[in-house]
Chains A and B, each alone.
Chain A
Amino acid sequence: MAAVRVEEVLAAAEEQEAEKRRSVTVEKELELEFDLGNLLALDRNPPPGAALRGAGPRREALLRALARDNTQLLVAQLWELPAERAGGAGGPLVARLPEPAFRLPREKPPPRPRPPTRWEQFARLKGIRRRKRTSLVWDEQAKEWRRRWGYRRAGGDPARAWLAEVPAGADPEEDQFGRLRREKRERVARNELNRLRNLARAHRAGTAAPAAPLHPTGHQSREELGHVARVARVSTASLGRFQPRLPKEPAEPPSRSGGRKRRFEPLLGNLAAERSRQLDLLRDMGSKKPVLDITRAVNKQLRQEEAEAAAAKGKKQSQRGKRGRRQQRPGRSSK
């Protein structure tokens, strides 16, 4: 009995060992490719296609097992890297990863080329090319090579500029040092302004919507066609002033803002001018209003009718009245 139990125990222990080893070793047909710098493991083994088709817990289990096996292999590779103790003797064991071999694609799109600045356009036009400047300049006074700009630059020592001559046509009372400082400040400000303008132009060029084509495509809306027609009208030598209009085309007054925005009078503008404009408008409106002919005519007609009706009634009344009075007189006199 004891021997059987011992054998059983030994067999069970061996089984356990084998299982442990099995959980650590992974059998693969093709070896995996590792890029430990990116912690990447590439498995080129063909997947079990039939089993993966169709959703379900079996598929999930298969995928999970695949992931577990590959991760096991990757971790095994990591354990083989040269490791050291970080932070002295008691620190954690840290593996030194090699350089990443796999080139990851860009996360964001590449930067667009920015539009040329005003100077760049001018230089290209004139054919001016950039001359390489030396970084060191010979300083005559100090008799040595000094850098062009920065710490201890050539000619930049403020103690050197102790004299500022009054130029020929200037006011003798003017502060020359102040003038030099002010001019420098203005130059710096102008430079900054131009830099910001260039930035704004580049930014605007980047976000501008693509212009609608001017040639006829089959897919233009009514507004686009109207815009195109307007552009075509203005594209003559006299800027569209003598272009004849189609029979039903309305005459458009030239808009100074180029059709972009409604412009209103300023809120607190010239109130007297506004008043006079309103009075002129009233005068125009008053003059164009036709005299109420229709109502007067209708009233006249009605009055005539009334008068006729009254006259006719009066005649009838008077006639009847005479007869009536004749007839009634005896009655009345009796009363």
Chain B
Amino acid sequence: MRPLTEAETRAVFEKLGRYIGENIQLLVDRPDGTYCFRLHRDRVYYLSEKLLKVAASVPRDSLVSLGTCFGKFTKTQKFRLSVTALDFLAPYAKYKVWVKPGSEQSFLYGNHVLKSGLGRITENTAQYQGVVVFSMADVPLGFGVAAKSTQECRKVDPMAIVVFHQADVGEYVRNEDTLT
């Protein structure tokens, strides 16, 4: 377990910034305590200082997970955000997409969101912008990347993909073994 280096912090913040923009500083600088990022076995965890002090006393081999796992660094040092970060992305998301009840299931199974399943989308969403996907009842379902900008979404045909799926809460069941 160690703190992130400069390059790693930059990679993580860039990835997070694609979804929550400048609200990252609300994660870094919290009024209710000191929270920090730590790297353990290529996974980035977000935890409070109190929890960090407790976790520091666990031997490295026995430590499985600490705090919230935001994602992991791949072998080529690229940062991949995982669904366990959704609780922190959803409240601060800048660009949101609401999905109709009929295609919620499809998204939760790992499929992309089609135009026919699109309920609402934030105005001024750019193409390839990171978006957080909600159900119509404002329950966060996952996150993805906007395949079309808001303007284009209006004009495109119903079978076109509007949001590329990246992570959804169904992964808690599907990838139970690999999530930490």
Residues of A within 8 A of B (CB): 264-269, 271-272, 274-275, 278-279, 281-282, 285-286, 292, 295, 298-299, 302-303, 306
B residues in contact with A271, CB < 8 Å: 34, 36, 49
User: Is the pair B25, A279 in contact by a Cβ cutoff of 8 Å?
Assistant: yes
5 smallest CB-CB distances across A and B, nearest first, come from: A295-B126, A302-B151, A265-B3, A264-B2, A278-B28
> Contacts A281-B13, A285-B13; is A267 near B29 (CB within 8 Å)?
no
- Nearest-neighbour CB distance to chain A for B123, whole angstroms, equals 10
How would you classify the secondary structure of chain B's contact residues: helix, strand, loop or mixed?
Answer: helix
B101-130 residues at the A interface, CB under 8 angstroms? 124, 126-127
A residues in contact with B3, CB < 8 Å: 264-267, 269, 274
A residues in contact with B10, CB < 8 Å: 281, 285
User: Is the pair B36, A295 in contact by a Cβ cutoff of 8 Å?
Assistant: no
The answer to the question of B169 belonging to the interface, with a C-beta cut-off of 8 Å to chain A, is: no
Give the residue of B14, B29, B124, B127 whose beta carbon is less than 8 angstroms from that of A275: B29
A-B contact count (CB 8 A): 61
CA distance A159 to B129 in the complex (A): 90
B residues in contact with A303, CB < 8 Å: 151
A residues in contact with B38, CB < 8 Å: 267
Would you give the 0/1 interface string for B1-31, flagging 1 where the beta carbon is closer than 8 Å to chain A? Answer: 1110110011001100100001011001100
The answer to the question of B160 belonging to the interface, with a C-beta cut-off of 8 Å to chain A, is: no
**Which of B14, B56, B150, B151: most chain A Cβ within 10 A?**
B151
A-B contact pairs, 13 of them (CB 8 A): A265-B2, A267-B3, A267-B52, A267-B56, A268-B53, A269-B3, A275-B36, A281-B6, A282-B28, A285-B13, A292-B126, A299-B149, A299-B150
CA distance A300 to B161 in the complex (A): 22
Known: A298-B149, A299-B124. 7 other contacts (CB 8 A): A265-B3, A266-B3, A275-B36, A281-B6, A299-B151, A302-B152, A303-B151
